[in-house]
């Protein structure tokens, strides 16, 4: 996972502060995985300490409260999402290739089981959608950010002349987001082996139906 | 909510068994609501007893374990879903009207806040999708049942000549399911007031694009 990979790329040093940072990253890499399976509320300092063979007081030195641990875990999951979904997709040219890349990379991220429990943010969304507080607010802000990225990609594809101008960009963003989230649901809950192939075929058919002749060919 | 309504329609009787049944229904009506907000794992016998002003031992007389309480809560949520979604939709003629009714009634159910915490089964799905055991298995079985109902409705619409025969029924069922689940997500997490109007417009556009001239008009 990216968090672990980042930690191992850091220069070796004996300074306590650097060791503390590496420990923090290792703790959070494990926390992301646990939260994707048991939920963010299933992430207790006690259970995490047991799994990492650390003392609870050692963990509390890094995170003063459960909420602080939840927020830090969400930030690591967001960085993984950015490094494995948004960044590779944005390296593709603006327009249809970038829009397709955003959805396809998201499907790949969950398909290759970067998170043990499926899509971290779909699970966190449904866990916290009726709760109030800073954890809910942070998840909602990250999800708004994601919908803005998707909507902007549609609008860029329209400016590039790849998608017909009459298409409602927000509506299209929510439509393909829903289909992808439905695939995570079917794959993780129903063990549906066809879920990702089906979602790709639905999204590609939709994108082809609104593509102009100037659009680069889709896969 | 239907469970409460059913309870109040029962003939009044002083027999202890009937009183017990009414109490059980009242407990489960409350449990469904709590679980839709806090999750099924947030549903403890202790917190439920506090909210219902009952003793924990009184509650344990109805449910021997947390798992038994979770399973009973799921069955009540399923009955609400059947009475408010599947049954009204199935009262419409086979074909396009019934297919549209299934999705539309599901959107109405969550939109009118029958469950305090949004879509009970979407939340339960993501909460238990990575867990093992009888609660996971029951949720997955109910969701398979729902996807089968949707797929059958597509196939009946094809047999009725309302939807082109070349359409892949399973794919269409998952596509419209994903769009509706995405609306629940946007409405509950992002407080998106347009979520349901947008989902209806996406699903209706999709259904119109595959309807034959013989199909009854969609709204």
For chain A, give the mean pLDDT: 91
Return the HEC string of A79-106.
HHHHHHHHHHHHCCCCCHHHHHHHHHHH
Q: Please report which residue ranges of A129-168 form alpha helices under DSSP H.
A: 134-159
What is the C-alpha to C-alpha distance for residues A202 and A215, in angstroms, rounded to an integer? 18
What residues are paired with A119 via a beta bridge? none
The complex's ipTM works out to 0.90
Q: Which strand (E) or helix (H) includes residue A201?
A: helix A195-210
What is the C-alpha to C-alpha distance for residues A67 and A69, in angstroms, rounded to an integer? 5
What is the C-alpha to C-alpha distance for residues A63 and A72, in angstroms, rounded to an integer? 9
pLDDT at B182 over 50: yes
CA torsion A13-A16-A17-A23 (nearest 10°) is: 90
CA B57 → CA B16, B29, B54, B64, B67, distances in Å?
Answer: 17, 19, 8, 10, 16
Interface contact A131-B190, CB threshold 8 A: no
> Tokens in use for A131?
């709760």
Residue A199's closest chain B neighbor by CA? B175
Interface contact A127-B130, CB threshold 8 A: no
Helices (H) and strands (E) in chain B, counts: 11, 0
Of A90-99, B8-17, B132-141, the least confident: B8-17
Whole-structure pTM value: 0.90
pLDDT at B109 over 60: yes
- Hey, CA dihedral for A144, A147, A151, A152, is it positive or negative? positive
The CATH superfamily assigned to A2-210 is Tetracycline Repressor, domain 2 (1.10.357.10)
pLDDT at A10 over 50: no
> Tokens in use for A12?
């070796």
Among B84, B27, B76, B34, smallest CA distance to B52 is for B27
Picking from A74, A116, A126 by the largest number of B CB atoms within 10 A of its own CB, the best residue to mutate is A126
Note the pLDDT of residue A15.
66
Question: In CATH, which of 3.10.105.10, 3.90.1170.50, 1.20.1070.10, 1.10.357.10 is domain B65-210?
Answer: 1.10.357.10
Residue B176's closest chain A neighbor by CA? A179
- Most confidently predicted of A11-25, B22-36, B98-112: B98-112
Residue with tokens 């191992």: A8
Interface contact A171-B122, CB threshold 8 A: no
Residue B192's closest chain A neighbor by CA? A144
What is the C-alpha to C-alpha distance for residues A20 and B160, in angstroms, rounded to an integer? 67
Interface contact B198-A118, CB threshold 8 A: no
Contacts of residue B156, Cβ cutoff 8 Å, sequence gap at least 6 = B94, B95, B98, B99
Tens-digit pLDDT profile for residues A152-210: 999 999 999 999 999 999 999 999 999 999 999 999 999 999 999 999 999 999 999 99
Residues in chain A: 219
């Amino acid at each position: 996972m990216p968090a672990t990979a980042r930690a191992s790329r850091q220069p070796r040093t004996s300074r306590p502060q650097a060791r503390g940072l590496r420990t923090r990253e290792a703790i959070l890499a494990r926390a992301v995985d646990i939260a994707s399976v048991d939920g963010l509320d299933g992430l207790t300092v006690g259970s995490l300490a047991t799994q990492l063979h650390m003392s609870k007081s050692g963990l509390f030195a890094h995170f003063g409260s459960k909420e602080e641990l939840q927020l830090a875990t969400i930030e690591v999951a967001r960085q993984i999402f950015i490094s494995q979904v948004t960044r590779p997709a944005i390296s593709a040219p603006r327009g249809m290739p970038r829009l397709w890349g955003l959805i396809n990379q998201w499907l790949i991220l969950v398909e290759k089981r970067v998170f043990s429990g499926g899509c971290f943010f779909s699970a966190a969304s449904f866990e916290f959608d009726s709760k109030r507080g800073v954890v809910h607010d942070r998840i909602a802000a990250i999800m708004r950010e994601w919908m803005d990225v998707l909507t902007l990609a549609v609008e860029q594809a329209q400016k590039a002349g790849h998608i017909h101008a009459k298409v409602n960009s927000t509506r299209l963003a929510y439509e393909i987001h829903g289909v992808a989230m439905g695939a995570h649901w079917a794959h993780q809950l129903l063990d549906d082996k066809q879920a990702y192939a089906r979602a790709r075929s639905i999204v590609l058919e939709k994108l082809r139906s609104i593509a102009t002749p100037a659009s680069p060919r889709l896969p």
